[in-house]
Structure 1
Amino acid sequence: MTHAPTRLRRKPLTHLILASLCATGAPLTFAQSTGDLGSVQSTATTSTGSDSATATSTQTAPAQAPTQGSLTATEPKSIINRNYIQNSTAPTSNYSDILQIAPSVSSITPNGPGLMETQSLSIRGFQDGQYNVTFDGIPFGDSNDFTHHSTSFFNSQNIGSISVDRGPGDASQIGFATFGGTVAVTSIEPSLTPAFSVLGSYGSWNTWLSGAQFNTGDMQQWGDARAVVGYDHSSSDGYLNDVGQRRDNVYFKLEKPLGDNTLLTFYADYNRIYQNTSLGATAAQIHQFGPNFGLNGDPASQSFYGYNFDRINTDFEYIGLQTQQWGWKFDNKLYTYGYYHDGFNAVDPNGETPNGTTFGANDVPGTQMANNYRAVGDVFDAQRELGPGTLELGGWLTHQSNFRDNMNVDDTLNFALEQLNFTMHDTLLTFEPYLQYAWKLPYGLTITPGVKYVSFERSIDSPLDQKSGVPVDYSHTWTKALPSLTVHEQINPSWSAYAQYAQGFLAPNLNVFYVTNPSASGQPAPEQTDNYQIGTTYKTNRFTLSADLYYINFRNAVTSTSVGGNTIFSNAGGAVYKGFESEGTFYAGYGFSLYGNLTFNSAKQDSTGDWMPNAPKMTAALGVIYDRGPLHGSLITKFVGHQFGDTGDTQPIGGFAVTNLAAAYTIKSPTSWMHNTRFGLEIDNIFNRTSIDALAGYTAADNTPLYWTIPGRAVIGTVSTDF
């Protein structure tokens, strides 16, 4: 009779976490694992992406969960598997559209899923540039402010899964901005069997996508190599008036075992995009023209779609090698990616600046910019069992070279040059080595102390610097050692708990060099955080449940807003982010699951108590999923709570909810030469809510607020089949 009390006394971490979560007065809800290198054999699989402790049948909560936690994670983590991506999101979606279902996440997509760069992707109130985005473990982003272009590299066709680590992670979590978390996107895996698949979809706003994908299957004559290659083309007029998009994407992935202990991976992705750009709409424009006001078809207007567009070409390649040798597990990826962007905008598409250039009093004034960069780097990790635990060491080294210029042009005269505003070449050299030891103790406890050293070296060489307009040739390096400590307890095969402390660090943006004399003005302190988190995860075939509490002390918090299309940064000083997060799925039987997540978030400045901008006070989701036999369906509502669009508790944005319905029916063999033919129908925003959901910025002329609205109801039909 004494066994149960004795066991509980041996679980101090469990008691602490459960007591803390119960003290919030909110219900518990629960959650894939951050794996180590694991097997180095080919990762081709047909699994659902749930933890190995659960079955991979679709008749389980882990298989049907839109998001779920991890039994091995040491910080709050939500995983979105391929099942949800394929069956419950639009074919044109980017990672940012898929991600918005997750706890504490808010995503603003004014033109429809994947049809415009995401205007705000907030995680716990942290904005793009304050958290990482990685692809197959490789961090990427712009060097100037660490932000990302959601339309420019990947789409839902070549994404296998996405996980959201809400926090800085342990020492091995690398990237430009670790303290805000990591959005980890993984590529699709080659299938076990040969297949040629085609996909076509058509929907609202004249949106269509066509694509094809070929899987070689296991090629025994080539040493069990497997490969997948695919191509997609999409085109849309967009929800916003005259804000269209055309996009092409081709991708290739090869996995080749080299003996029993080594796996070679090669990945390549190429993307080409043409998209019209809108800066948002004033309240008067929304009232006069409707919530979908964007651009127009009048060549005499600065809102003409022919004057406001982007041409972007990108590529992303890596060679990866996983091997087990001499008692070590090694994982190395050598990579490069490039981004080439020509952007054209009228000076004021919102109508507050009159026409007129040096070439003509009625000519339309505009700007033309170029933003081209190339990054090369390497990610390395090594692990081995040592004593009572696992030693892990590694590092990340990357160099990015960036060329930018900006000029005034006459749009009426086919973008004739008026004046060069600035031109510059800047570089960023980042080095992050790390070391940690996972000390395994009795009763399922693992304690992992670690340290990561970060070094950011910026340089700029400009004959005509942005803002200052004078020549600048300068460089500066920011460094810091970042300790971390995680405690993980595997209570039983279905239940785990964790606690974490870690420091975060983010180098200042490139704009600190936009001054007359950077060496004399001095360099600002970087953004830094102390992160504290505790949480628990429970997972069986019937349930996936997870909950966590977090507290983040943020120093030198930088906020930003857009004025006339230009981003303006300011330092809000200290801030505290804290909250409660939960998510869970219950498999009710007969193919049905119930899903929900609920978060309460706070992000306030120390000095004033004002809310940080674009930080919702709560988020929630509720839905039902059906997946049995040939039929799949989901009905899910996402709610984003009240927030402020700017500092000082100004520009309040009311809470809003969007409900999406998706259904699909698969016929295994409609003919002898067709297999797995799938018919899908999706209705996004079925209640057609089109209220304001974000501040887009301000006009340059009169500082008039600009807004984004929720895109209206969209109906999308999809057909795919294998041959």
Structure 2
Amino acid sequence: MTCIFKFRKRTSVIGQAISILFLSCSAIQLVQAQTQTQPQDQVNLGTVGTQGGASQVVEISAKPNSISAVAPTQVNLLATQPQSIISRAFIEQSVAPTGNFNTIAGIAPGASTQPSPNGPGTSDTKTVLRGFQDAQYNVTWDGIPFGDTNDPTHHSTAYFPAAVIGGVVVERGPGNASNLGQATYGGSINLYSKTPSANRSTELYYSRGGWNTNLFGIAFESGKLGDNDATLQLNVQNIKSDGYLTYNTMDGSNLVIKYAQKLGQNTRMTVFATYNDIKTKLPDSASGATLAQAALFGKNYSLNNDPTSQGYYGYNTVHKKTDMEYLRLQTNWGNGFQTDNNLYSYYYDNATFAGFDATGYLGAGIIAAGAGTNASSYSGAKVPVGGVLGYDKLNHYRVNGDIFKATKQFDAGLLRAGLWLENSDTRRHQYGLDMTTMTYLDPTFAGKGTKFNQNSSWTQYQPFVEFEWAVSEQTTVTPGIKYMNFKRSVDAVKNQGSSVAASFSETYKASLPFLTVNHAVDKENSIYAQYAKGMQTPVLGTALQVVTPANTPDPQTTTNYQIGVVHKSERFTVAADLYYIDFNNQIGSSTVAGQTVFFNQGGTVYKGFEIEGAYLLGSGWSAYANYSKNSAKFKDGNSAGTGSISKSPDMTAALGLQYNQGPWNASMIYKIVGQQYAQNGEPAAYKISAYDNTDLNVAYTFDHIGSILQKIKIQLSLYNLTDSRKVTSISTGATVALDQYQWQAPRSFMLSGKVMF
């Protein structure tokens, strides 16, 4: 396919990020040509969609033997903010089959993903972007922001396994006005489903790894069906693992269905649905082992087999069920006018049963001082003599929304406008239990023995407009503005935090301006700059879990200043950026007369430097590296103190060596996460030294086997190759002795096979 693209007809900001014009041939197509087959002289890197553009499909391809075909991360020449684009090719070659979006995103500069302490992909993990924690940035699926409804946090094992992710774009900034979400001020991790293949195929895949980890799946591609270019995709998989941590078993199943077809000549309909069901045994009341527990039982201690203990594996279970559906209509109306409407819904149900305090167990009948004992009370109600104190915790919500975007191409540039509408309905509770008899301590679910019994909801809308002004063939300037209106309500029999009945609401509003510039120096080099305002609405805990909302703190806000450069050629790609982020209205808390009070405590400055690049060495070999120097420190006057904010690594770096030639594929990826502190202000006792991880993957593909059996791929993976066992997390306990630690899981292996028909 011949690619012709004029700079003054650039796609939307996120569309730019994904379209990857740095590739030798980026196949940006209107919906009429969505299922075109891959050109013979191109390497398919995977396919992704776009949330920014209206009625556009993006396929990622590159010339064989080009650096763009193999680079783990890369940046678009049309970028207007720092970004890292991760293709399906990298996911398949270098990411654990048991992984998830955090496993993938962790390769990007400025991103630090805590390794799973239970083994690759077998427990939830979190990613930090430049010091911004989960809930301070967005995660989207095909342009749909999703997350918890009490705060926009995410559960990495709950929705999308690595097998169904077509590509990831890590954006380190608010983007333009059309970038949607409740926390764009910290950036976005944008996930994309696979664009359907034009060819019919069925793939069986299986992975066997350490700690009795087994993954089995079936993927089906219908290819083109009929004259309306209809396609159907199915993926079903199951994962089971005993886990490295004691009694932390996992059993999860996932189903994905995606159907697309043309409606007439100019409209394409896409229907998507996924369902995920995962059962794990976890100590909800602990985030790792105490030092005393690790000394007695090992660093992998988590749960035990003592029925008299609150840490007994039979009492500690987590069952999460999720789904997401969308109906998307993309239409090209002609004369440069396109629309894109995405009607969606997603659901999350977390039913947890847990011992009250799993941190104090030191053996049969031995409980550490300060830990919850069997004589402890739960919200004022005591467990019967001989019982074991625990609780029933529920987080259940449904979110419905619609995203409408329209674009109009003018000679002067591209006008984009749209509207995001969304509402949520949430039910949450936490009830005390005698775990030995599964008897509730409070049959009324409103008094003693009930920590909270709460309903909450939100209604929000965000209209936006922006104009990509083509100043010249080489330069675009994009001003824009987004208006946020977010109303959060609570109706609780017993509210969390305040422990009293509550029924009230709060509305938060903001107008957020944006301005970005991109200038093409030549065909291989560009520079960009961004100014953007961002806001995060106060989460449920700080907004409405109070006696009265009269003193609710103002939303947290940022002002972002970023500049960057990008170079791309067939053998070499490199991008670098500088950023300065002024973060204000940081929310803190204190206890007054037994009640938690939230307030704006001051500000923080985030600043740093990031660089990433890859070079084609030749004979199938390529090298990759990235580095970031990150600072997130309190401003003068912040009542939280001085020094760095917690969980904010001072640097990240990665090195990679890859081989891709003939039937062989191999990669060795090294990632280091710099020094950080588990608490604000850099207390020496909570210093977490830098830790690193090295993964090795080697694969061989048997191709063109027969008329029915097309391919067989065998892959051997070694994770944490150097067997590093460093501390990755410290969580504060009731006393210092009850602080909980997590360590890297030891070296492990995985053998994977794929058979394609």
- Provide the TM-score with structure 2 as the length reference: 0.87
Among 716, 737, 745, the alignment partner of 1:681 is: 716
State the match for 2:680 in structure 1: 647
Cα distance change of structure 1 residues 648 and 571 upon mapping to structure 2, 3 Å threshold: farther
In 2, Cα distance between equivalents of 1:380 and 1:514: 30
Alignment partner of 1:399 is 2:399 = no
Cα distance change of structure 1 residues 276 and 558 upon mapping to structure 2, 3 Å threshold: farther
Give 3-state SS (helix, strand or coil) of 1:285's partner: helix
State the match for 1:719 in structure 2: 753
In 2, Cα distance between equivalents of 1:721 and 1:137: 32
In 1, Cα distance between equivalents of 2:589 and 2:264: 51
Look up the equivalent residue of 1:693 and give its one-letter code.
T
Shift of 1:511: 1.2
In 1, Cα distance between equivalents of 2:144 and 2:561: 25
CA contact (8 A) 2:553 2:599 kept: no
Alignment partner of 1:48 is 2:45 = yes
Cα distance change of structure 1 residues 601 and 33 upon mapping to structure 2, 3 Å threshold: farther
Look up the equivalent residue of 1:404 and give its one-letter code.
R
Report Cα offsets for 1:245-275 as digits up to 9, x if no partner.
1000001111102233211111000000101
Look up the equivalent residue of 1:262 and give its one-letter code.
T
Look up the equivalent residue of 1:665 and give its one-letter code.
Y
Shift of 1:300: 1.7
State the match for 1:505 in structure 2: 535
Give 3-state SS (helix, strand or coil) of 2:527's partner: strand
Cα distance change of structure 1 residues 411 and 560 upon mapping to structure 2, 3 Å threshold: farther
Among 353, 362, 369, the alignment partner of 1:344 is: 353
Shift of 1:492: 2.0
Among 380, 383, 393, the alignment partner of 2:407 is: 383
Cα distance change of structure 1 residues 168 and 42 upon mapping to structure 2, 3 Å threshold: same
Report Cα offsets for 1:51-101 as digits up to 9, x if no partner.
999962442211111111111111001011001111111111010111111
State the match for 1:159 in structure 2: 165
In 2, Cα distance between equivalents of 1:487 and 1:449: 9
Look up the equivalent residue of 2:298 and give its one-letter code.
G
State the match for 1:312 in structure 2: 320
State the match for 1:292 in structure 2: 300
Shift of 1:522: 1.9
Give 3-state SS (helix, strand or coil) of 1:292's partner: coil
Gaps of 5+ in 2: 1-16, 22-26, 39-43, 49-57, 361-370, 377-381, 443-448, 591-595
Shift of 1:700: 3.5
Q: What is the 5 A alignment of 1:256-295?
A: 256-278=261-283, 279-295=287-303
Among 176, 199, 209, the alignment partner of 1:203 is: 209
Shift of 1:426: 0.5
CA contact (8 A) 1:218 1:224 kept: yes
Alignment partner of 1:457 is 2:487 = yes
Report Cα offsets for 1:360-393 as digits up to 9, x if no partner.
3232110111111000001111111224111110
Among 81, 97, 104, the alignment partner of 2:110 is: 104
Cα distance change of structure 1 residues 67 and 34 upon mapping to structure 2, 3 Å threshold: closer
Shift of 1:514: 4.9
Give 3-state SS (helix, strand or coil) of 2:103's partner: helix
Q: What is the 5 A alignment of 1:130-145?
A: 130-145=136-151
Report Cα offsets for 1:375-416 as digits up to 9, x if no partner.
000111111122411111012111111111110001111354
Look up the equivalent residue of 1:720 and give its one-letter code.
K
State the match for 2:74 in structure 1: 68
In 2, Cα distance between equivalents of 1:281 and 1:656: 19
Report Cα offsets for 1:135-165 as digits up to 9, x if no partner.
0000011121111111111101111000101
Among 628, 635, 647, the alignment partner of 2:661 is: 628
Shift of 1:605: 0.3
CA contact (8 A) 2:610 2:629 kept: yes
- When structure 1 is superposed on structure 2, of 552-561 and 70-79 the one drifting more is 552-561
CA contact (8 A) 1:336 1:375 kept: yes
Cα distance change of structure 1 residues 568 and 523 upon mapping to structure 2, 3 Å threshold: closer
State the match for 1:690 in structure 2: 725
State the match for 1:638 in structure 2: 671
Shift of 1:647: 0.8
Among 341, 345, 360, the alignment partner of 1:332 is: 341
Aligned length: 684
State the match for 2:372 in structure 1: 353
Among 257, 273, 277, the alignment partner of 1:252 is: 257
In 1, Cα distance between equivalents of 2:108 and 2:298: 30
State the match for 2:652 in structure 1: 619
Q: What is the 5 A alignment of 1:543-562?
A: 543-558=572-587
- When structure 1 is superposed on structure 2, of 446-455 and 355-364 the one drifting more is 355-364
State the match for 2:121 in structure 1: 114
In 1, Cα distance between equivalents of 2:543 and 2:436: 34
- When structure 1 is superposed on structure 2, of 706-715 and 480-489 the one drifting more is 706-715
CA contact (8 A) 1:42 1:257 kept: no
In 1, Cα distance between equivalents of 2:198 and 2:67: 25
Among 75, 83, 98, the alignment partner of 1:77 is: 83
- Provide the TM-score with structure 1 as the length reference: 0.91
Q: What is the 5 A alignment of 1:504-543?
A: 504-514=534-544, 517-519=547-549, 521-543=550-572
Give 3-state SS (helix, strand or coil) of 1:627's partner: strand
Give 3-state SS (helix, strand or coil) of 1:220's partner: coil
Shift of 1:34: 7.5
Alignment partner of 1:233 is 2:238 = yes
Aligned-residue CA RMSD (Å): 2.3
Look up the equivalent residue of 1:494 and give its one-letter code.
E
State the match for 1:479 in structure 2: 509
Cα distance change of structure 1 residues 537 and 568 upon mapping to structure 2, 3 Å threshold: farther
Percent identity over the alignment is: 38
Cα distance change of structure 1 residues 50 and 67 upon mapping to structure 2, 3 Å threshold: farther
Give 3-state SS (helix, strand or coil) of 1:573's partner: strand
Report Cα offsets for 1:279-309 as digits up to 9, x if no partner.
2111222233222111112222211111112
In 2, Cα distance between equivalents of 1:235 and 1:50: 28
Give 3-state SS (helix, strand or coil) of 1:287's partner: helix
Give 3-state SS (helix, strand or coil) of 1:487's partner: strand
Look up the equivalent residue of 1:640 and give its one-letter code.
V
CA contact (8 A) 2:19 2:28 kept: no
In 1, Cα distance between equivalents of 2:750 and 2:653: 25
Report Cα offsets for 1:503-523 as digits up to 9, x if no partner.
00011111134555324x322
Cα distance change of structure 1 residues 531 and 133 upon mapping to structure 2, 3 Å threshold: same
Alignment partner of 1:586 is 2:615 = yes
Look up the equivalent residue of 1:399 and give its one-letter code.
N
- When structure 1 is superposed on structure 2, of 304-313 and 633-642 the one drifting more is 304-313
State the match for 1:126 in structure 2: 132
Gaps of 5+ in 1: 1-30, 562-566
In 2, Cα distance between equivalents of 1:543 and 1:54: 18
Shift of 1:573: 2.0
CA contact (8 A) 1:316 1:337 kept: yes
Give 3-state SS (helix, strand or coil) of 1:544's partner: strand
State the match for 1:599 in structure 2: 628
Give 3-state SS (helix, strand or coil) of 2:186's partner: coil
Report Cα offsets for 1:344-368 as digits up to 9, x if no partner.
1111111122224745323211011
Report Cα offsets for 1:200-225 as digits up to 9, x if no partner.
1100010000010111101125x221
In 2, Cα distance between equivalents of 1:262 and 1:287: 63
Q: Which has the higher contact order (CA 8 A, sep 6+)?
A: 1
State the match for 2:453 in structure 1: 423
CA contact (8 A) 2:46 2:60 kept: no
Cα distance change of structure 1 residues 537 and 720 upon mapping to structure 2, 3 Å threshold: same
Among 190, 200, 204, the alignment partner of 1:194 is: 200
CA contact (8 A) 2:558 2:581 kept: yes
Report Cα offsets for 1:227-259 as digits up to 9, x if no partner.
111100000011211111100000111110223
CA contact (8 A) 1:450 1:484 kept: yes
